[in-house]
Chains A and B, each alone.
Chain A
Amino acid sequence: MALSRLSSRSNTISRPLSAAFNRFISTDTTPITIETSLPFTAHLCDPPSRSVESSTQELLTFFRTMALMRRMEIAADSLYKAKLIRGFCHLYDGQEAVAIGMEAAITKKDAIITAYRDHCIFLGRGGELYEVFAELMGRRDGCSRGKGGSMHFYKKDSSFYGGHGIVGAQVPLGCGIAFAQKYGKEEAVTFAMYGDGAANQGQLFEALNISALWDLPAILVCENNHYGMGTAEWRAAKSPSYYKRGDYVPGLKVDGMDAFAVKQACKFAKEHALKNGPIILEMDTYRYHGHSMSDPGSTYRTRDEISGVRQERDPIERIKKLVLSHDLATEKELKDMEKEIRKEVDDAIAKAKDCPMPEPSELFTNVYVKGFGTESFGPDRKEVKAALP
């Protein structure tokens, strides 16, 4: 099918998938209503309904994007073991539904800021596979010019503010972005994401206090994968109901493995934040890999637990079942799609491996912005220029 080959050449995932499937063009915009798997639990607010408006196109896009994210993370795993990726590498597989559902509910003007588990969210914000792999391998064409690494992916034009290594520090930053959105009257919101381990940081509560005081459009999203590195949540938090931790701030607990529940919750949260100020979303999710590549992930939890979650709650399987049950594609077509995705990822990796390392002079670029028109040179400089802007 020539059309499917065309679509597989592009790296961007925002292209509609309709081109690949001739027979579905006519049913592309058919609305479908999907029930979330679990009801929402609310704190100080009314939970949204369990019926989510969706469409055929969205369902297929969800499947393809999540499969792409999963494939990318698995490929990063092998690259790490091949020592092409060094340092810390935190993988997101298992949690893809959160990234996808959030993207479906918001625009590129709404800001997202997250911690170090940021590869898939970067992709969701419009990042390219090539940029991702080049950055992970520290090459020149990486999204941060090779100077950030796995934990520092940013995309300013899509309002993706990264990519932060210190646990919890991104939440005050996120509230600051929300403040700037309010200051500039932008009608946009900020999703500040953090994990269940970071939920015990003091700066979170400080930032929440200020956001609630100043009515900032900040949405705090706790991706609760039940383990803060090696410590289970029941050993780290006296109260594991992270959505209630806001106290005076409303909260919503969401099944984070169900992309539609996430989408509904994010839509609800956006409306709420624009009117009433901050809200906390707790995404009940799970990660299959360990905390990072240095962590096998099985010393603090059993392999049965991991495979149990994989069998019962895997987000991609759920979408796959929905696609098959709504008769949008056959098993074979989905397998072909996965093969395409695998090829796409392999191509991106091959291209990234060919990319050169950054120039040595890059070491000193972007430390300062020479903004004020003042140039200072070494001790032997001949002249000093001071220009008023």
Chain B
Amino acid sequence: MAARIHGGAGAGAATALSTFNPKKLVAPSRTNLPAITRSKRYIVASGSDASNKSLRVRHSQKLIANAAVAVCLLSLILHELLLFEALQEGLEEEMDRDPHVCVMGEDVGHYGGSYKVTKGLADKFGDLRVLDTPICENAFTGMGIGAAMTGLRPVIEGMNMGFLLLAFNQISNNCGMLHYTSGGQFTIPVVIRGPGGVGRQLGAEHSQRLESYFQSIPGIQMVACSTPYNAKGLMKAAIRSENPVILFEHVLLYNLKEKIPDEEYICNLEEAEMVRPGEHITILTYSRMRYHVMQAAKTLVNKGYDPEVIDIRSLKPFDLYTIGNSVKKTHRVLIVEECMRTGGIGASLTAAINENFHDYLDAPVMCLSSQDVPTPYAGTLEEWTVVQPAQIVTAVEQLCQ
């Protein structure tokens, strides 16, 4: 597949979108070795011309080492962009590739998207493919699902994930279940995406984490992106998938900067990402908490610990293979998430790990989550609702005793 260069990629200038401090949340730079490992896996696959070429990823390390040389050359053609631009690139590439892909949401068209993810798309593709909807989440989510039943591939944007609670019936009953109750007649290749999570003093109703509510709906897949690289990859994979996929973005991560390959690539929807291999403890995290964990990891390394950090990325289904391998190596698990303590992703993950890997654990699985409170407005209080790096360090020290 030829490398694609898009107009949007050239705009490397960081826009002062939000008031947060970019220094606190910097995407892992090229010094992070796994980045090369990540990109090469898929670029090699895409370099081959056969459409169904599969790549044995879990083969020996030798294969990786050999391929790395060849592929490093390909992955050297990089361009730098922000996370929202990566999402936009992914969306634009898919819309170019398949005329059935359309976007619907509030202010996605002429306004360009409230977080600029769909900027420029309305000019390029027209009003019929980038649809500005009125404010009726229930109806336009239903419409997206109805259109998907006939073969279109809508990307439904919730301006803030919290607003999608109004469309819960459509997502749960129609989106998740129609493939099953129709005996396989209809597929719903819809992507539901939007920013969620605790932002900077946005208030309780705009700081929702919906992954905990949607996780038990059968028939949907959930993924959470955390870097520009996996944002673009997951967006493309989600659009191409025949299943309904909910893509969770985070309000505070839109301005992350990273260099991503020019070449086309897709991330695996059901796979977790190894952020930092280690020996002492497995830390499972996703979305924004990944950065808190990496910050804590710096402190931990200085103190002599060697944490293995995995960004689970796939919230439903869990990538128990990667997680299991890690648990078998380190025997200690810490889950750091932004969901509430009760019924969150961490709770399910704890149960899954305990069920499947109980024999390999030297200590009980510890889960650090947000407090079970509505997110307060005051800055200091809001900081205390989410997990901070210092708490992660303490938890690791406690587990590793």
Contact = CB atoms under 8 A, between A and B. Distances in A.
Contact of A181 (B55, B133, B150, B189): B150
Given A161-B186, A387-B45, A387-B55, 12 more contacts: A146-B183, A148-B182, A172-B138, A175-B139, A176-B145, A207-B139, A210-B136, A365-B184, A372-B242, A379-B320, A386-B54, A386-B271
A156 interface: yes
From B58, B138, B150, residue with most partner A Cβ within 10 Å: B150
A236 B270 CA distance: 47
B230 interface: no
Interface in B43-74: 45-46, 51-58
Given A152-B182, A164-B174, A385 B56 contact: yes
A373 B218 contact: no
Interface of A: 111, 113, 142-149, 152, 154-156, 161-166, 169, 171-177, 179-184, 202-203, 206-207, 209-210, 213-214, 365-369, 371-374, 376-389
B128 A183 contact: yes
Interface of B: 41-42, 45-46, 51-58, 102, 128, 131, 133-134, 136, 138-152, 169-170, 173-174, 178-187, 189, 218-219, 221, 237, 240-243, 266, 268-271, 317, 319-321, 324, 356-357
B357 A379 contact: yes
A156 B240 contact: no
From B139, B144, B221, residue with most partner A Cβ within 10 Å: B139
Contacts of B170: 169, 172-173
Contacts of A173: 142-143, 145-146, 149, 170, 174
Nearest to A186: B150
B75 to A, nearest CB: 16
22 contacts: A145-B184, A152-B181, A154-B183, A155-B185, A161-B186, A169-B170, A172-B140, A172-B143, A173-B146, A176-B142, A179-B147, A180-B146, A183-B102, A184-B150, A210-B134, A210-B140, A369-B242, A371-B189, A376-B270, A385-B54, A387-B45, A387-B53
Given A176-B144, A179-B147, A389-B51, A384 B185 contact: no
The 6 residue pairs across chains A and B that have the minimum distance between CB atoms: A176-B146, A172-B142, A371-B242, A206-B139, A206-B136, A176-B143
B180 A366 contact: yes
A384 to B, nearest CB: 5
A175 B128 CA distance: 15
Given A367-B179, A388-B46, A172 B141 contact: yes
Contact of B243 (A175, A179, A368, A384): A368
A380 B169 CA distance: 35
B271 to A, nearest CB: 7
Contact of A177 (B146, B182, B221): B146
A378 B323 CA distance: 12
B182 A154 contact: yes
B266 A388 contact: yes
B174 A169 contact: yes
B181 A147 contact: yes
From A156, A174, A377, residue with most partner B Cβ within 10 Å: A156
Contact of A371 (B184, B241, B357): B241
Nearest to B327: A379
Nearest to B41: A386
Nearest to B187: A369
A176 to B, nearest CB: 3
B183 A366 contact: yes
Contact of B142 (A203, A214, A389): A203
A145 B185 CA distance: 10
A171 B102 CA distance: 20
Contacts of A163: 181-182
Given A175-B139, A387-B53, A388-B266, A144 B181 contact: yes
B146 A161 contact: yes
A202 to B, nearest CB: 7
Nearest to B48: A388
A169 B142 contact: yes
Contact of A147 (B141, B145, B183): B183
Contact of A384 (B149, B150, B180, B321): B321
